[in-house]
Structures are given as structure tokens and as C-alpha cells.
Homo-oligomer: A and B are copies of this chain.
Amino acid sequence: MAGGPIPILKIGPTLLATIQIDLHDTVVDAFQNDVLEEIERTSAKGLIIDISALETVDSYVARTLANTGKMAKLMGTNTVIVGMRPAVAATLVRMGYFMEGIDTALSLEEGLELQKIRTTVPDTE
């Protein structure tokens, strides 16, 4: 588990980061660092970011979360963002952050299920 304000747990081959606090610029920067370091340290095949507690996002947080997924992907780790609320989804699309290449799922259960598929059958992108 990383030492930052956002806990990052390892469940089998998957890292699970649950965002339970409001994300300010410095927090989301530290989170991005922690996640990438945990991926390297644990060789996790998948990353799930649970943002169901997040009511709103600003453009910096949105971009940083999307970039974190892209960075994880470059390291060889598939990202699934779960639990996005309607207002957050609306903000992201209106700001033009469609999060290409990042998987989404309604709930943590579905996210874990999707990771199981993704990390056994590599996608054909």
C-alpha cells in the first residue's frame, strides 16, 4: 500500500485505488506518482480507479486522471475507471476528455470482472 492520501491496494494481479477525498491539484499529482510507482513495484497487470465518491472534477483533475490511465497503459497495465457519476461524465465530455483507450465500468464488481478478461485476453488495439 502506497503512503499517499489515496490508498492503493493490491488484489491479486490488480491494483485498486479508491478515491475518497476531493481531488486538488497537488493530491492528484501525488496520486499519479504513487500509482505509477506501485505499478512498477508490484508488476500489477491491471489498475482500477474507483471514483464513485467524486461528485465533480475540474479540468486539471480530469486531465491528470485520463493521463494516469494512458501512462499505466504505456507501462503495460490496463486501466479501468469505475463508478463515474453523471455530473463527472458530463463535465469530462463537455471538456473534450473522452478518455480514449481507458475502460470504464459501472461498479467495482464489474471493473474487477472486466480486468479479469482484459488481463487474460490482451486487446487487439
Interface residues of A (CB under 8 A from B): 32-33, 36-37, 39-40, 43, 45, 67, 70-77, 81-82, 84-86, 88-90, 92-94, 98-99, 101, 103-107, 110-111, 114, 117-118, 122-125
Copy count, this protein chain: 2
A86 lies within 8 A of B33 (CB): yes
A93 lies within 8 A of B106 (CB): no
Residues of B within 8 A of A101 (CB): 98, 125
CB < 8 Å neighbour of A104 from B75, B82, B86: B75
CB < 8 Å neighbour of A77 from B40, B98, B106: B106
A71 lies within 8 A of B45 (CB): no
Query: CA separation between A111 and B106, bound complex, in Å?
Result: 21
